[in-house]
């Protein structure tokens, strides 16, 4: 009889502390013997509504019609962007908290796509992060929602690449930084990765300590962000973490950074947990040196 994979209570504890859109006609995923995910995602179509436009930037609601439901995104783009961001919010983060941020990035020359991820409690349907449920789907050969979210981010990157013809970065805060790291490793066309107040989940370490082998270990490995650092390289990695983070300890962020491959940069920022204006300023300053444009 198969051993039950990690108790639900343990999964809840972890959570508290805590892909292509090309021509493939049949979506599929695979997890190799090392636990590395690869995806062949169904093509997406989009419906769009322009919400605001002026001489500086345009804000658009883009709904992606995917293989398993609609995913809502919001794009703020200047007329001539130099780079673009696929932003993955943390648990419970809503668009309303990022309106001013999107304007600030566009003023600096960067397009900003906010992805309303599955199950995050806003416009995109789905269930909150649930590794046990996703593992059950994995065992049946169905798509775990975690993998579908990775496809959503890859599709988002493809949309920006096709429209803007600029480098596109995967960026996420807290839990969103974990999804973003996996997407940046799965899709080599991401230009790099930015993780803010984030780390590994710790689920793999727990599974190993509890003596699991086989499928539980493969699946656990496939959802841990650091699994994909070797795939992200040689694209750059930036990790931001606050010393006083009360949600994901600073030490976890440093350990996460240490497992990344070069080129990589670790930046301490003022504040506590999650993206904030200090992080925005530091990112814009860093990228101004790369792309030669400032506010």
Please report, for the domain that includes residue 162, its CATH number: 3.40.50.1820
Domain of residue 260 covers 8-291
Quote the pLDDT of residue 120. 96
Nearest to 44, CA basis, from 151, 191, 192, 198: 151
Mean pLDDT, rounded, for 24-49: 93
Helix or strand or coil: residue 163? helix
| pLDDT surpassing 50 at residue 200 | yes
Which ranges of 108-249 does DSSP label H, i.e. alpha helix?
Answer: 131-140, 145-164, 175-186, 203-209, 215-223, 229-232
Rounded distance, CA 209 to CA 53, Å? 54
pLDDT at 3 over 60: no
Domain count across the chain: 1
pLDDT at residue 11 above 90? no
Judge whether 140 lies within some domain.
yes
Percentage, residues of the chain above pLDDT 70? 91
Is 3 a domain residue?
Answer: no
Residue (of 105, 57, 114) closest to 86 by Cα position:
114
Do the domain assignments include residue 1? no
Predicted pLDDT at 159? 98
Amino acid 25: pLDDT: 58
Residue 249 falls within a domain, yes or no?
Answer: yes
163 domain-assigned: yes
């Amino acid at each position: 009889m198969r051993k039950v994979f990690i108790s639900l209570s343990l999964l809840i504890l972890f959570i508290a502390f805590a892909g292509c859109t090309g021509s493939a006609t049949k979506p599929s995923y695979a997890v190799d013997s090392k636990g590395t995910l690869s995806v062949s995602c169904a093509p997406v179509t989009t419906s769009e509504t322009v919400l605001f436009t002026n001489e500086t930037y345009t804000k658009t609601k883009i709904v992606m019609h995917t293989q398993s439901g609609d995913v809502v995104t919001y794009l703020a783009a200047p007329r001539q962007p130099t780079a673009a961001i696929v932003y993955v919010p943390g648990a419970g983060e809503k668009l309303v908290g990022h309106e001013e941020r999107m304007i600030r990035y566009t003023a600096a020359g960067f397009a900003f796509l906010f992805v309303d991820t599955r199950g995050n409690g806003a416009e995109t349907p789905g269930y909150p992060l649930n590794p046990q449920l996703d593992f059950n789907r994995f065992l049946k050969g169905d798509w775990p929602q975690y993998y579908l979210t990775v496809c959503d981010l890859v599709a988002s990157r493809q949309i920006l690449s096709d429209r803007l013809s600029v480098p596109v970065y995967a960026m996420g805060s807290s839990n969103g930084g974990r999804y973003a790291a996996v997407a940046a490793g799965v899709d080599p066309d991401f230009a790099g990765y930015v993780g803010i107040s984030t780390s590994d989940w710790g689920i793999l370490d727990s599974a190993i300590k509890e003596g699991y082998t086989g499928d539980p270990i493969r699946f656990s490995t496939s959802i841990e962000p650091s699994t994909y650092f070797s795939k992200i390289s040689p694209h750059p990695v930036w990790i931001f973490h606050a010393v006083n983070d009360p949600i994901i300890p600073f030490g976890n962020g440093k350990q996460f950074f240490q497992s990344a491959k070069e080129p990589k940069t670790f930046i301490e920022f003022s504040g506590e947990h999650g993206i904030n204006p200090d992080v925005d300023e530091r990112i814009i300053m860093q990228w101004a040196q790369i792309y030669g444009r400032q506010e």
